Structure 1
Amino acid sequence: MDFISSCVLLLLMVLNMSAGILAYSCFIQGQNNMWHITFNPQEVTAVPGLCALISCNFTYPDKAEPIQKILLYACNKNEICNKKIFNSNEESRRDKQSETGQIEMLETDPHKNNCSIIMKDINVTDEGEYAFRVEGSNTKKITYPTRFKISIQEKPIMDIPPLREGEPAGLNCSAPFPCPETPPDITWLIKIKGEPAFKLQDNITLATFKSYYLSTLALTPSSKLHDATVGCYVTYGHVEISTSRTLEVMYGNTSSVVIQGTETFLKKLGLSTILTFLAGMACSAVIFSVTLCCWVSCHRANKHKGLTANPDTGVNLEKKPAEEEREPADMEYAEINRDRRGNGKRCDDNQSEMSNGETEDQKQKREELYSNLRFC
């Protein structure tokens, strides 16, 4: 039984291995019957005046054998790739160069599945996307949908972290490495105000990557380096690109940093700017004072006018002089006296009329009545 089990297990292992080999063979055959292209890397950063290496490989179906030619098209902003800039046809271009002489294939045999090219004398107009097209026999041809891109960089990229006095820091400068023919040479320079510029040679490390160089400057800043200018210069043979930055070094406590920032701000303003600002502030103060005085005067006038008129009745409440106020009182008093005198006269007339043919009692009553009339 053990022998039979071992045989069965061995048979199963052999069948598994056979199935794996068969599957791998089918996969390879499928790959050989597909249109496919890969780029490494897919985006290349180039420097104007230099070359750019585009590394790529492609596959095609067996039915497309033999490959007739490899074409390169430039794509526009609408992602339409219809501008032909390169043709590898040996009959028309023996040197495998483009019509402008900028593009050259690294591998002359297209059957080796290598589509790597070098673009020379790059300029800013070469920035954009590109697509390869392969044409074979039996009308088998394709423009690969996967594209590569060229970006243009005209200056190195400098990265400076926050700097504080006495604390070590690393300053980075990266430069493209698009062309193996001319590797970059990176140099650091620093210039302190009032002193000549000098080259930094110590504490510099260089890292090389596939598409760019990175130079790191180890620096322990001091207050003397505040407002100093540090520059990164990259040389590619006869082509040079550079960039520079102003260092800002924080030193002391927070108040010192604030004072330092204030001093720097005032220095940047300049005397003429400060005088112009002060003159503007003075003019603004005068205009505000005049406006405020006019507003207060108008407010007081409107308030006085509101007190002398009743808007509901329309009666004028404005005070009159003392003489005008007393005149109605005098006139009323005169009219009252005149009425009183008239009443007295009528009382006397009534008394004389009633005195004729009266008795004593009647006379007494008349006198009482007369006395009462006198009070009225």
Structure 2
Amino acid sequence: MKITVTALTQKPSVLTPPLTEGEPATLTCTAPGICSGTPPNITWTWRGTGDNITELRDNTTIQIREDLTNVTTTHFSTLTFTPSAEHHNMMVTCQVTFQKQYQIEETVTLNVTYVKDPEITGNEMVKEDGTLDLTCSVNSYPPSDITWSKNGTSAPLQNYRENAALTISNTFL
């Protein structure tokens, strides 16, 4: 009996756990269907902000399950890495190739939780009766809340996300 596959309609499944900067994580790509015969080839690639595509090393595994009526084989690959802020919004693709000619793939976009140090910009020196203009910004995902405070007491301002400007007019020394 010979079976010919002309089109693959089912995509691989890519499991992405919550990603946090500095904490190792494992992505899992499972080939669609239950296969017998030659195992498929599973390849990982990722694309950053440019068009550079990098092939990644993976750990391909065959999982065999047996029950009283049949034996099923599932093929999957794991990719372990330590995410950083630079991985946020990167696209990772898992490509599965059957019999060296039938290819299917699934692409996911990574969401990495990270927080960089806040940065205050503006002129910190001001003359009497002058105006103090400062901006606090922080690069983070998800966006951070920013509140200005003086001597531990919050300024009478609302909370801001990512950028918070502080203007004080008629300053006195």
Q: TM-score range by the shorter chain?
A: 0.5 to 0.7
Q: 1:207 to 1:258 in 2, by over 3 A?
A: closer
1:244 aligned counterpart, secondary structure = strand
Match of 1:209 in 2: 63
Report the equivalent of 2:98. Answer: 236
Q: Which residue identity lines up with residue 31 of structure 2 in the other structure?
A: A
Gaps of 5+ in 1: 1-103, 105-118, 125-151, 264-376
Which of 150, 157, 161 aligns to 2:13? It is 157
Q: Residue 177 and residue 259 in structure 1: after superposition, are their counterparts in 2 closer, same or farther (change >3 A)?
A: closer
Tell me the distance in 2 between the aligned counterparts of 1:257 and 1:218: 21
Q: Which has the higher helix share?
A: 1
Q: Superposition pairs for residues 203-352 of structure 1, below 5 Å?
A: 204-210=58-64, 211-237=73-99, 238-252=101-115, 256-259=140-143
Match of 1:36 in 2: none
Counterpart-to-counterpart distance in 2, 1:257 and 1:158: 22
In structure 1, the residue matched to 2:42 is: 186
Question: Number of residues paired by the alignment?
Answer: 115
Superposition map of 1:163-178 within 5 A: 163-176=19-32, 178=34
C-alpha displacement at 1:179, in angstroms?
A: 4.3
Please tell me the residue identity of whatever aligns with 1:191. R
CA distance in 2, matches of 1:186, 1:216: 10
> Paired residue for 1:120?
3
The answer to whether the 8 A contact 2:11-2:32 is kept is: no
Distance 1:122 1:172 in 2: 25
Which structure has more strand as a fraction of its residues? Answer: 2
Q: Which has the higher contact order (CA 8 A, sep 6+)?
A: 2
Any stretches of 5+ residues in structure 2 without a counterpart?
A: 65-72, 117-137, 145-160, 163-173
TM-score, scaled to structure 2 = 0.58
